[in-house]
């Protein structure tokens, strides 16, 4: 991934945090000698350095993905930055964004218990704490039928790259102008980028 020096994330904990908060990923491999991508949720075991997920069985990507060096892309918040927000109009538009690339070899999960535990981790992550839904309470016959329709996998992480483009290449006063404009909109991505910009400024003071 192209990462300008000013925007590179060096802190592994920040990279893992981005993965945790933006778990719907784009998983890329080579299939029939062409790039192939699937959009799917992934969970991460930070201690073991492993991504877990599953394909729909009709998705042919899994047929030749095992032992391939995979690329999982996690997209964080992003938004347009207008030059009209600066103190001068002698500037050009840009885009602020956050993204993480994770690399590693894919292994098909054959063990039923390991597959179920990975599904349980995913459900528990996204269900609300007060939800009445419990995957463990679903009839085992239904779980078995569902499991036949998916192919579980895990990816042992070998490398991670992260980028946060948050106007770091501009003066602090200009960054503050951008933050103010982003906070005065209703767009969720805009507000998230504004919060990250503020965090970044606090770290540089």
pLDDT in tens, 132-167: 988 888 888 888 888 889 999 999 999 999 999 999
Radius of gyration of the chain (CA): 20
CATH class of this structure's domain 5-169: mainly beta
pLDDT for res 163: 98
Instruction: Tell which residue, 38, 40, 43, has the closest CA to residue 16.
Output: 43
pLDDT, position 72: 98
Q: Of 73, 68, 84, whose CA–CA distance to 180 is shortest?
A: 84
Query: What totals of helices (H) and strands (E) does the chain contain, helices first?
Result: 5, 7
By three-state DSSP, how is residue 1 classified? coil
Separation of alpha carbons 155 and 182, rounded Å: 37
Domain boundaries, the chain: 5-169
Count of other CB atoms within 10 angstroms of residue 122: 18
In 10 A of CB 116, how many CB atoms?
A: 17
């Amino acid at each position: 991934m192209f990462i300008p020096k000013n925007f590179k994330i060096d802190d592994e904990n920040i990279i893992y945090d981005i993965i945790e908060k933006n778990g719907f990923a784009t998983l890329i491999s080579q299939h029939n000698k062409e790039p192939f991508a699937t959009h799917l949720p992934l969970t991460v075991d930070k201690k073991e350095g492993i991504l877990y997920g599953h394909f729909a069985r009709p998705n042919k990507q899994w047929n030749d993905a095992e032992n391939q060096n995979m690329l999982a892309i996690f997209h964080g918040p992003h938004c347009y930055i207008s030059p009209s927000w600066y103190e001068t109009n002698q500037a050009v538009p840009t885009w602020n964004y956050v993204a993480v690339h994770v690399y590693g070899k894919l292994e098909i999960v054959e063990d039923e218990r390991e597959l179920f535990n990975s599904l349980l981790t995913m459900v528990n992550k996204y269900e609300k704490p007060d939800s009445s839904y419990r995957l463990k309470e679903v009839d085992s016959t239904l779980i078995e039928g569902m499991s036949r329709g998916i192919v579980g996998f895990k990816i042992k992480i070998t490398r991670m790259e992260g980028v946060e483009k948050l106007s770091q290449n501009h003066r602090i006063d200009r960054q503050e102008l951008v933050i103010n404009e982003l906070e005065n909109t209703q767009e969720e991505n805009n507000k998230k980028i504004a919060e990250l910009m503020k965090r970044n400024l606090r770290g540089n003071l």
